[in-house]
């Protein structure tokens, strides 16, 4: 991995890059497939070796795009995939994982997440994750879209404290979790994985980022991403189907926001002053 990509440690002690690549909306249209594969490969070349996908994305199509991008370089990548809550039973998790492994053309998923909380008892899903771990089909497991009370419940379950991350909606325009989920997670050294870090492209067009962007000769999207990347214990996973965006996202790692920048950003995107329910896209 090029030394430019910082890493952070999962609770297991394993280091992962703080910048990864998202894949939602990939694999939906065959005409874009070559560009999507090329974008992911460029990301790998730049050291952005964590790739986030899910059985849900393009009904498995995104996992197939990922398989093509990592072919021949599986060992340098850290693959994250997710199981739908409707598949979160003991038998369902096993089946879903095997189908994901097949589409990903690999023998193991590095980090397997429950996509959002559902109706299957969480203890059953955790047991299923632990069974997959002991079979070597997944190396770690985690959750997604869990608010603080749901995390507290999770860590109280047998093996629940083996959770390696909580993947959540977090960006300048979605700061609600800073009120309690973020400090709670930091204190327990459970990294948050920030999805939609540029608000699905909306922050790239946000005029309130332009002044800070101009000071760094950067784009608004790069400032939005640099801000997420400087949060302690946070991994960001922007999705970029265009190679130009992949390069810009990698370059955002080198943007050092100043105290003046942060004060301006806090004025434009105020931090929360009270508890709000965790937002989801
Ligand atoms: P996002 O990463 O905030 O935004 C993606 C959009 O921003 C794309 O249209 C992309 O354009 C554009 N973009 C990326 N980099 C850019 C740049 N440097 N300049 C300008 N535009 C840029 O939103 P997201 O895809 O929703 O979230 C990221 C990933 O998080 C997903 O792909 C998925 O893997 C994961 N996710 C997880 C959940 C969950 O429930 N766990 C929910 C949502 C997302 P191009 O593609 O044209 O380059």
- Pick the closest to residue 200 from 145, 281, 84 (CA basis): 281
Is the whole-model pTM more than 0.75? yes
Q: Which helix (H) or strand (E) holds 42?
A: helix 33-45
Ligand 1 atom nearest to CA at 62? 34
Ligand 1 atom nearest to CA at 248? 18
Is residue 88 within 8 Å of 54, Cβ to Cβ?
Answer: no
Average pLDDT over residues 140-149: 98
CA distance 183 to 199: 22
User: Distance of CA 28 to CAs 104, 135, 246, Å?
Assistant: 16, 32, 19
The pLDDT assigned to 4 comes to 72
The pLDDT assigned to 2 comes to 45
CB atoms within 10 A of CB 274: 7
**Average per-residue pLDDT for the chain:** 97
Of all residues in the chain, the percent with pLDDT exceeding 70 is 99
CA distance 226 to 182: 18
> How far, in Å, is the centroid of ligand 1 from the Cα of 131?
32
Pocket of ligand 1 from Cβ distances under 6 Å: 22-24, 52, 115, 144-145, 167, 195-201, 204, 219, 221, 237-242, 245, 248-249, 281
Q: What is the pLDDT of residues 33-50, one digit of tens each?
A: 999 999 999 999 999 999
């Amino acid at each position: 991995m090029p030394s430019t990509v910082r890493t952070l440690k999962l609770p297991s002690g394993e280091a992962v890059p703080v910048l990864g690549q998202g894949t939602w909306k990939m694999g939906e249209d065959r005409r874009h497939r070559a560009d999507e594969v090329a974008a992911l490969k460029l990301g790998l070349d730049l050291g952005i070796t964590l790739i986030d996908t899910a059985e849900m994305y393009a009904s498995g199509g995104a996992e197939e795009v990922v398989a093509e991008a990592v072919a021949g370089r599986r060992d340098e990548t850290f693959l994250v995939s997710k199981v739908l809550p409707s598949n979160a039973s003991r038998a369902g998790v096993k089946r879903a994982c095997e189908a994901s492994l097949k589409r990903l053309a690999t023998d193991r998923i590095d980090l397997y997440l429950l996509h959002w909380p559902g109706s299957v008892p969480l203890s059953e899903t955790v047991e299923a994750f632990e069974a997959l771990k002991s079979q070597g089909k997944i190396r770690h497991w985690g959750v997604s879209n869990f608010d603080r009370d749901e995390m507290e419940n999770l860590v109280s379950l047998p093996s629940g404290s083996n959770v390696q991350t909580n993947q959540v909606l977090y960006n300048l325009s979605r700061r609600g979790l800073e009120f309690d989920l973020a400090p709670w997670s930091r204190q327990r050294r459970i990294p948050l994985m920030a999805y939609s870090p540029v608000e699905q492209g909306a922050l790239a067009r946000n005029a309130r980022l332009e002044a800070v962007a101009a000071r760094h000769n950067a784009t608004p999207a790069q400032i939005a991403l640099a801000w997420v990347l400087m949060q302690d214990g946070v991994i960001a996973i922007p999705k970029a189907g265009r190679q130009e965006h992949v390069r810009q996202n990698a370059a955002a790692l080198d943007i050092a926001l100043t105290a003046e920048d942060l004060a301006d950003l806090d004025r434009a995107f105020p931090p929360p002053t009270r508890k709000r329910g965790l937002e989801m896209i």
